[in-house]
Structure 1
Amino acid sequence: MAGFVNYVKESFGELKHNVSWPTMAEAQSLTILVAVFSTLFSLAVWGVDTVFSKVISYYFHLIN
């Protein structure tokens, strides 16, 4: 248990003193960038899924 407590203390110390955090403006711009690419990626996956779904439906319609 003492090892875990020491680990948590050292982790917080490292986050506070050794990590270089982005500025608020950088964080906001990166958040927007991630949101835009996530939306584009989800639309691409939706498109591929729709196309494959239609192709598979058409294939099973042909063999019936």
Structure 2
Amino acid sequence: MAGVITYIKESFEELKNHVSWTPWPEAQRLTVLVAVFSIIFSLAIWGVDTVFSKAVKAYFDFLN
């Protein structure tokens, strides 16, 4: 158990003193960028899914 506690203490020490964090304004800008591209990508997938579902429905309606 002592090994786990030592590991956690050393991890926090590493994060506090040795990790270079992205500046807050850049982190906000990148977060907005990721959100915008996620929305665009999800809309593109929705569009392709809609087209394919209509194509498959038309194909099966043609077979009947």
TM-score over 0.5 for the pair: yes
Q: CA deviation at 1:43?
A: 0.6
- Structure 1: 5+ residue stretches without partners: none
TM-score normalised over the length of structure 2? 0.86
Q: Give the secondary structure class of the aligned counterpart of 1:22.
A: coil
- Structure 2: 5+ residue stretches without partners: none
Q: How many matched pairs?
A: 64
Structure-2 residue corresponding to 1:19: 19
TM-score normalised over the length of structure 1? 0.86
| Root-mean-square deviation over aligned CA pairs | 1.1
Structure-2 residue corresponding to 1:32: 32
Q: Taking every aligned residue pair, what percent have the same amino acid on both sides? A: 64
